[in-house]
Structure 1
Amino acid sequence: MTLTQEIQVILFKPQGSIDLEGGTALSEQMAAIAPQPHQLWVIDLAGVDFMDSSGLVPLVTGLKEARQSGCRLVLCNVQARVRLILELTQLDSVFEIFDTYEDILSTVKNNSLVLAG
């Protein structure tokens, strides 16, 4: 008998800038949902054209809380200016970054995305 665990995807789609104001809004959205094991948190950055250092705080905090809860947090659709910030801070090696949301779903569907736990 094979048991499968359904993965619940939680999608966050911040818009505009993730600076002090935008970062606070993202933090509030993420705090409203308690991370659970077998959840996949996706932060789709397609609508984000700017991020500063204060915008990194909710991403790092969210990643830490997700990992502590046995859930996974990934980024997708990272625009060039935002990717540069992640690279300069070397956070691009800390976060799992996918090109598109569809890439994440196909990875999950192919069972090659294994949830931490």
Structure 2
Amino acid sequence: MTLTQELQVILFKPQGSIDLQGGKVLSEQMAGVVPQADQLWVIDLREVNFMDSSGLVPLVKGLRAARQSGCRLVLCNVQAPVRLILELTQLDSVFEIFHTYEDIFPIVKDDSLVLAG
């Protein structure tokens, strides 16, 4: 008998600005997901056009929570203004950043995707 574990993908899709208010919303969404070993948390930043320093807090907290639980957290579709903040704070070297969602993995089964929020 062969036992395999399917990868469960948790997708977060924040919108607009990740500032103090937007960061609270993202934090609440992430807190609503119980991290489990071998999950992949994807934060798709395609629709985020602004982030300030207070918006970095939920990303760093989420990364720490994911790592402590054996999860992997990645960012994708990072827009230029957000990428600039990540580069200025040198967090671009801390987070795994992918150009597109599809770059994270070649094929995702729809039944393994859970949309957070």
TM-score (norm 2): 0.88
Shift of residue 3 of structure 1? 3.6
Paired residue for 1:61? Answer: 61
Per-residue deviation at 1:2?
4.7
Q: Distance in 2 between matches of 1:103 and 1:29?
A: 24
Distance 1:94 1:102, change over 3 A: same
Tell me how far 1:4 sits from its aligned partner: 2.5
Query: 4+ runs of 1 displaced by more than 3 Å?
Result: none
Aligned position for 1:28: 28
Count of residue pairs the alignment pairs up? 109
Q: How does 1:32-51 map to 2 (within 5 A)?
A: 32-51=32-51
Report the identity percentage: 82
CA drift at 1:34: 1.1
Offset of residue 105 of structure 1 = 2.5
Question: Which aligned pairs between 1:85-100 and structure 2 lie closer than 5 A?
Answer: 85-100=85-100
Unaligned runs of 5+ in 2: 110-117
| CA positional deviation for 1:5 | 1.9
Counterpart AA for 1:54: S
Cα distance in 2 between the residues matched to 1:66 and 1:17: 23
1:78 maps to what in 2?
Answer: 78
Measured after TM superposition, the shift of residue 90 of structure 1 is 0.3
Q: Secondary structure at the match of 2:97?
A: strand
- Per chain length, whose mean CA-contact separation is higher, i.e. which structure has more relative contact order (CA < 8 Å, sep 6+)? 2
Cα RMSD after superposing both structures: 1.5
Q: 1: distance between equivalents of 2:33 and 2:65?
A: 11
Match of 1:6 in 2: 6
The TM-score with structure 1 as length reference comes to 0.88
* SS of aligned partner of 1:105: coil
The C-alpha deviation readout for 1:36-64, integer Å capped at 9, x for no partner, is 10110000000000000000000000000
Structure 2: distance between partners of 1:78 and 1:96:
11
Q: For the residues of structure 1 that align with 2:97 and 2:46, how far apart are their CA atoms?
A: 12
- Mapped to 1, the partners of 2:91 and 2:76 lie a distance apart of 14
The CA deviation at 1:108 is 7.4
> In 1, Cα distance between the equivalents of 2:84 and 2:102?
23
